[in-house]
Amino acid sequence: MSGRIVVKIGSQVLCDEQGELNLAVLEQLAGQIGRLAADGWQVLMVSSGAVAAGRGVAGQKLERVNDPVARKQVLAATGQVRLMENYRALFARQELTIAQVLASKSDFQTRRHYLNMRGCIDGLLTAGIIPVINENDVVSITELMFTDNDELAGLLAGMVNADLLCLLSTVPGVFDGHPDDPATQCIDTWDDEKHQSDEIVQRGASALGRGGMHSKLTIARRTAQLGTTVVIADGTDRDILFKIVNAQKAGTRFPAVGGASPAKRWLASTDGHAVGSVTVNSGAAEALTDRSRLASLLPVGIEAIDGSFSQGDVIQVCAPDGSVLGCGRAGYGHEEARQSIGKRGQKPLIHYDYLYLVD
């Protein structure tokens, strides 16, 4: 088996007890990824660890920087060099070339930026080069930061239409209860009808990194619904990637349950960045969320329009109670949309092909 695989390596996997890079772990993971590449897999790495690597570089110089945000930026900037140099050397031993890609959330906000980034990554993969991707901590500000690298990995998996997304942490997978409870088990295969993410979190399943279990589950389920199989697993297992690609028992697997067009994959990455919104009536909400139908958003079902938007902008779609149903690409601007509210026989404000509904 081969295809495209996104491997996200968490900081807990890469760092030792002192919070510095564990070079032995880096080496064994690079070896596993090299084996995947030799077997024909196109691999994207999403790697944490830049800030940790910076602690071993900046040293006493960091004491001169008082601002906490600036300190983190200094660590990220200096550490990114060291992290990439380690990766370059480890993959060079296997005659593999890597490339550094730094991303911010703004790269996913506009269709043009999104396609430019996808074109770059597609080019690297076609050339047999392994992209090593991380958030651009040097320039990112709070409102444009990813929740964590799990979110970035999920967005990239959708962008490149990956077959597999591996979220590697330091736990065996998703537990069905508190890890300290002897009766607790690791869930082998996630089933939305059997498992409820809120209940799993409330029962005390351990947090995994900065985003926590709730964030990881949300990303894993959403990515699977877009057509990519996801596995949450223990990155310290020396054969974890081999087990995952060969469908052996490893971590918690979220089977791909559907597929999505490139446009819908992009829309799924624009969450929180809509420039306007529309509120629909109960009939339209029911029609849009009926998975047995392919429904576009028609003006007859719209009750209100908020914000100013132009043709091609992303707008949110809200239910009568204010809850967000999803988002879509506007077929025309807000002025024309307001003139068409409640009218029959009008062209769709959002065509089905450009409408993404959240679960």
| Residue 82 shares a structural domain with residue 99 | yes
Cα–Cα distance, 344 to 350 (Å, whole number): 15
| Residue 279 shares a structural domain with residue 353 | yes
Confidence at residue 311, expressed as pLDDT on a 0 to 100 scale? 92
Angle 227-232-233 (CA atoms, 0-180°, nearest 5)?
140
Confidence at residue 61, expressed as pLDDT on a 0 to 100 scale? 80
| Residue 261 shares a structural domain with residue 314 | no
Confidence at residue 206, expressed as pLDDT on a 0 to 100 scale? 46
CATH number at residue 238: 3.40.1160.10
Query: Within 10 A of 120 (CB to CB), how many other CB atoms are there?
Result: 13
| Residue 209 shares a structural domain with residue 311 | no
| Residue 124 shares a structural domain with residue 197 | yes
Confidence at residue 211, expressed as pLDDT on a 0 to 100 scale? 42
CA 261 to chain centre: 17
Q: Which domain holds residue 50?
A: 4-265
Confidence at residue 228, expressed as pLDDT on a 0 to 100 scale? 95
In whole angstroms, how far apart are CA 111 and each of 118, 262, 313?
10, 11, 9
Domain count of the chain? 2
Residue segments in the chain with a per-residue pLDDT below the cut of 70: 1, 138-145, 179, 196-213, 271-272
Query: 315 and 328 in contact (C-beta within 8 Å)?
Result: yes
| Residue 279 shares a structural domain with residue 171 | no
How many residues are recorded in the chain?
A: 359
Q: Which of 265, 300, 320 is the last residue of a domain?
A: 265
Confidence at residue 202, expressed as pLDDT on a 0 to 100 scale? 58
| Residue 218 shares a structural domain with residue 292 | no
